[in-house]
Amino acid sequence: METKIAEIADGIYRLSTFVPQIAAPAGFVFNQFVIMGDEPLMFHTGLRKMFGLNRDALSRLMPPERLRWIGYGHFEADECGAMNEWLAAAPNAQAAHGQTGCLVSLNDFADRAPRILADGDVIDLGGGKRVRFIDTPHTPHGWDAGVMYEESTGTLLCGDLFTQLGDGPALTEGDVVGPSIAAEDLFKYSALNPAMGSTIRALARFAPRTLAIMHGPSFSGDGAAALRALADDYDRRAAEQGFVAAAKAA
């Protein structure tokens, strides 16, 4: 396996590892995103067993020990499995995650205490980069789920939202909604719930210009339109399960 590096927005790099054995024959990618700044942040640690690959990839961008912040979408092995390996490799690094995630998992799991982020809190990385944490509970899955938004580039760090199969380009202006609907049909990875569509639709208020997708190509274009289209599809799924009617009756 190799980890490819591409700059998907100004000062934001995608570290991408393709695993052909997962969901063969299409395969599946795992992406980490590094936001440069005086205090660099990496979103997703990657799998523990891929730590060596990702550390070697990061070292092509900067000395790994310069890493200051580690964020992720929710508590799962691909999102944060290598947390403690990174904390050991970067002595000044600190994990940063939402209140639920810290209380439920990270306060215990991380070898150093995390920074607890309330919904909407911003980490100023210096160099003009500012990263905001947004709670998205149970969306697409995980009680602790959240996304991050880098304000200067308009980049939404989507985590598992827009998951798709295959090894596409690092950055596309093409459709990312259709392939994600197909992946949901196959994996059923989302914790479908009545609020899911509105949780995703609310992210459109940021009008992101780039969507940094964990499993798939990054997207350049009208991020708000893509989010609304994805939200509409989850509303459809919820309605088919009777969730919307149940919510209105409550």
Cβ neighbours for 180, distance < 8 A, ≥ 6 positions apart: 161, 162, 163, 164, 216, 230
Q: Contacts with Fe ion: how many residues (CB under 5 A)?
A: 4
Q: Enumerate the H helices of the chain as residue ranges.
A: 51-58, 77-80, 83-89, 99-101, 107-109, 177-187, 196-202, 223-240, 243-249
Q: How many residues does the chain have?
A: 250
Burial (0-12, 13-18, 19+ Cβ within 10 Å), 169: exposed
CA 156/CA 168 separation, integer angstroms: 19
Q: Which stretch binds Fe ion (CB under 5 A): 71-79, 106-114, 172-180, 224-232?
A: 71-79
Tell me how far, at minimum, the Cβ of 245 lies from Fe ion, in Å. Answer: 28
Q: Does 214 contact Fe ion by CB under 5 A?
A: yes
Site for Fe ion, residues 114 to 143, rule: CB under 5 A = none
Tell me how far, at minimum, the Cβ of 159 lies from Fe ion, in Å. Answer: 6
Tell me how far, at minimum, the Cβ of 29 lies from Fe ion, in Å. Answer: 10
Q: Does 78 contact Fe ion by CB under 5 A?
A: yes
Between 39 and 79, whose beta carbon lies closer to Fe ion? 79
Between 70 and 214, whose beta carbon lies closer to Fe ion? 214
Tell me how far, at minimum, the Cβ of 74 lies from Fe ion, in Å. Answer: 6
Between 136 and 155, whose beta carbon lies closer to Fe ion? 136
Tell me how far, at minimum, the Cβ of 47 lies from Fe ion, in Å. Answer: 10
CA 90/CA 161 separation, integer angstroms: 28
Residues in contact with Fe ion, shown as a per-residue x/- string from 145 to 164 under the rule CB under 5 A: ---------------x----
Contact 98, 120 (CB under 8 A): no
Between 143 and 151, whose beta carbon lies closer to Fe ion? 143
Contact 29, 19 (CB under 8 A): yes
DSSP code for 22: T
Query: What residue ranges bind Fe ion (CB under 5 A)?
Result: 76, 78, 160, 214
